[in-house]
Every structure is written in structure tokens, then in C-alpha cells.
């Protein structure tokens, strides 16, 4: 445990984090591209058409991983925000704020793919279903965090204000997740369970798991990349930043 805490403390140093992000960002993107390619190939060419929805169900392999990520990223953002507010760790402020645009993108993909899927399935592009409405609220929360962070000139004060909104918005995450259980909704119930049997046939499951892994890896790569840029911007003028930029230019 002491070694783990020491590793976190060392990685939390701005120059150490810069080196850590520079090293692992390409690996995260490489894993993401391979996993997404495998998953999408399986979804398009290996998985049979659904007996009820036909070919339109294949958008599930984009919609479901994106929906999972929209919730997962908000939880990660709120967790980093809590750490930043309690212990005033600058890197956690940066990580929390770097999460917001990535989470907003995944939420937008969720809403767009859900609408495309909903048209042939439900006969409408949009309905004020509890699951859909709470997911839309999630998008507004992401945009609120982004807007609040960019509205205040002082970066530390801006991050703290936006972190409060992220923590408050965390209450919406269980509403999105459990909406299909708490209310009578048009949206279908849980098909895939981490505990207990899933309703999806195993032959259709592996491409979904591959795309889910790909979106997780893409998030890690995007988070490290964005956080590294924000870290360099906030540390501008420090000697280690000039040295890092000089090393990067020599590599190019």
C-alpha cells in the first residue's frame, strides 16, 4: 500500500505526470484502435441479424459502449473533483476538467445513435422517456462543467467551481442507470449483466466487449493527452516545461 501511495504522489508531480502521459498515451490509443477494429468487424460481419430488429440492431455496438462511457467518465470526473476539492491536488483538478469534453462527446454519441436506432424501432427520433431525458441532462451537466471552467480566468478557481458542479451532478448518474427499473419506460431494460446471466446471446457478446474495451482505452489515451496539454499550459515558464519542449522538438 505504501508503495502504491508513493507511486501516486510521484506521478502527481507535474513533470513526472508529463513523462507518464507521454509514454502511455500512444499505447492507449493503439489498444483502442485494435479493439475497436476487432469489435466493429465482428459487429458488422460476424454477428447474425437480430430476429426482431433485423440489421438495425447493429448500432447497439456503438450505442451501448458510448452509453457506458458517458456514465463511467462522469463518475471518474466527479471522483477527481472530490479529491481536488478536499486535498487541493492540482493534477486532480486538471484530470477532472480534462474528462468533461471527452464525456460530453460520448454522451452526444449516445444520444445521436439512440435516436438513429429509435426511429426504426420505436417509430420516432425522440421521446421524453426517463432514460433519454436523464441522459440529455447528463450532456447539459458536462457542458455546464466545460462552460463554467472556461468562464473564469483564474484556472485554479475555475477548476474548483466546475468541480462543485461535477460533484452535484453525480446524483444524475444513478437516475440514468436505474431509470428503466424505477419507471415504466419505452427504453428496453437491462440486457447485459455483470452479475448473473445476460439476455444477449454469447455469439453477439464478444464484439460488444471488444468495443467496450476500445472505448475505455480511447478514454485513457484522450484523458492523458488532454491533461498533458493542460498541465503544460498551467506550468508555462517552469524550467522543466522548457526542457520537455526541447526534448520533444529534438525527437521531431
The three cell numbers of residue 226 are 488532454
| Span 169-184, average pLDDT | 89
Beta-sheet strands, E only, within the chain: none
Query: 189 falls in which pLDDT band (50, 70, 90)?
Result: low
Name the domain count of the chain.
1
The reply to whether 251 falls in a domain is no
Q: Is residue 155 pLDDT above 80, yes or no? A: yes
Q: How confident is the model at residue 242 (pLDDT cuts 50, 70, 90)?
A: confident
Question: Looking at residue 54, what is its pLDDT?
Answer: 83
Q: What is the mean pLDDT of residues 220-238?
A: 93
Residue 111 lies in a domain: yes
Is residue 202 one of the residues assigned to a domain?
yes
> Is residue 156 scored above 80 in pLDDT?
yes
Q: Does residue 126 form part of some domain?
A: yes
CA dihedral 173, 179, 181, 185 (to 10 degrees): -160
Find the angle CA(126)-CA(132)-CA(134) to the nearest 5 degrees: 140
Burial label, 206 (beta-carbon count in 10 A; 0-12, 13-18, 19+):
middle
Given a cut of 90, whether residue 150 has pLDDT beyond it is: yes
Q: Would you say residue 49 lies in a domain?
A: yes
Band of residue 175 on the pLDDT scale cut at 50, 70, 90: very high
Least confident piece of the model among 2-6, 23-27, 58-62:
2-6
pLDDT at 116 over 70: yes
CATH value at residue 39: 1.20.120
Indicate the average pLDDT of the chain: 89
Q: Would you say residue 229 lies in a domain?
A: yes
Residue 12 lies in a domain: no
Phi, psi of 171 (to 5 degrees): -65, -25
Domain range enclosing 43: 19-234
- Determine, yes or no, domain membership for 4: no
Q: Is the pLDDT of residue 9 over 80?
A: no
Amino acid at each position: 500500500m505504501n508503495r502504491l501511495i508513493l507511486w501516486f504522489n510521484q506521478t502527481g508531480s507535474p513533470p513526472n505526470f508529463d513523462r507518464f502521459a507521454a509514454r502511455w498515451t500512444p499505447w492507449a490509443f493503439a489498444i483502442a484502435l485494435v479493439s475497436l477494429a476487432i469489435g466493429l468487424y465482428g459487429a458488422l460481419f460476424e454477428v447474425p441479424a437480430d430476429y426482431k430488429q433485423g440489421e438495425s440492431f447493429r448500432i447497439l455496438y456503438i450505442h451501448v459502449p458510448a452509453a457506458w462511457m458517458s456514465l463511467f467518465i462522469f463518475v471518474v470526473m466527479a471522483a477527481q473533483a472530490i479529491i481536488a476539492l478536499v486535498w487541493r491536488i492540482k493534477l486532480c483538478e486538471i484530470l477532472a476538467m480534462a474528462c468533461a469534453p471527452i464525456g460530453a462527446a460520448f454522451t452526444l454519441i449516445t444520444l445521436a445513435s439512440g435516436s438513429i436506432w429509435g426511429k426504426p424501432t420505436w417509430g420516432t427520433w425522440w421521446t421524453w422517456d426517463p432514460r433519454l431525458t436523464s441522459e440529455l441532462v447528463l450532456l447539459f451537466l458536462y457542458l455546464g462543467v466545460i462552460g463554467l471552467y472556461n468562464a473564469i480566468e483564474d484556472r485554479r478557481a475555475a477548476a474548483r467551481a466546475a468541480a462543485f458542479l461535477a460533484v452535484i451532478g453525480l446524483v444524475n448518474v444513478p437516475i440514468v442507470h436505474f431509470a428503466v427499473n424505477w419507471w415504466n419506460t419505452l427504453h428496453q431494460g437491462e440486457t447485459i449483466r455483470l452479475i448473473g446471466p445476460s439476455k444477449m446471446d454469447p455469439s453477439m457478446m464478444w464484439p460488444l466487449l471488444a468495443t467496450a474495451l476500445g472505448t475505455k482505452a480511447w478514454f485513457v489515451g484522450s484523458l492523458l493527452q488532454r491533461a498533458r496539454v493542460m498541465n503544460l499550459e498551467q506550468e508555462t515558464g517552469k524550467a522543466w516545461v522548457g526542457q520537455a519542449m526541447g526534448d520533444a522538438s529534438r525527437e521531431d
